[in-house]
Amino acid sequence: MSLPEIRYNDDGLVPAIAQDVETGAVLMLAWMNAEALSTTLRTRRGTYFSRSRRQLWVKGETSGHVQEVVSVSLDCDADTVLLQVRQTGPACHTGSATCFTDRQIEA
C-alpha cells in the first residue's frame, strides 16, 4: 500500500476502523493522519490522531489494552482505513469490548 494514494480529508485525517481479526466485530472508529498510519505500519500497534489533543496516541499506551495490527486495508475510495487487530482487553474507553454495544438505533 502506498501512503500517497490515501484520500485524507481537509484536516489531513482519514477515518480508521479497528476490527477484531478473529471475530469480525467492529471495535472502534478513530482518526489517523499520515504520521499515525506510518507509525502503525512500522510498529504494528494501533496508533491514532487525537483531534481534541492534536497529537498521536497509541491504543493501550496507558491502559494496557493494546491493539496488535494484523493487516491494514483501504476501502474502494481510499478514504477509510480498516485495521484488523488482535485486541488485548476492552477496546472502548468505557470498558466495553467494543464501542458499538449499547446505543442501537431502531430502523
104 part of a folded domain: no
103 part of a folded domain: no
**pLDDT tens for residues 71-85?**
999 999 999 999 999
Q: Give the pTM.
A: 0.89
92 part of a folded domain: no
Whether 99 and 67 have beta carbons less than 8 Å apart is answered as no
User: How far is 80 from 53, CA to CA, in rounded Å?
Assistant: 21
**pLDDT tens for residues 45-101?**
999 999 999 999 999 998 999 999 999 999 999 999 999 999 999 999 888 999 988
**pLDDT tens for residues 9-29?**
999 999 999 999 999 999 999
35 part of a folded domain: yes
Whether 27 and 99 have beta carbons less than 8 Å apart is answered as yes
65 part of a folded domain: yes
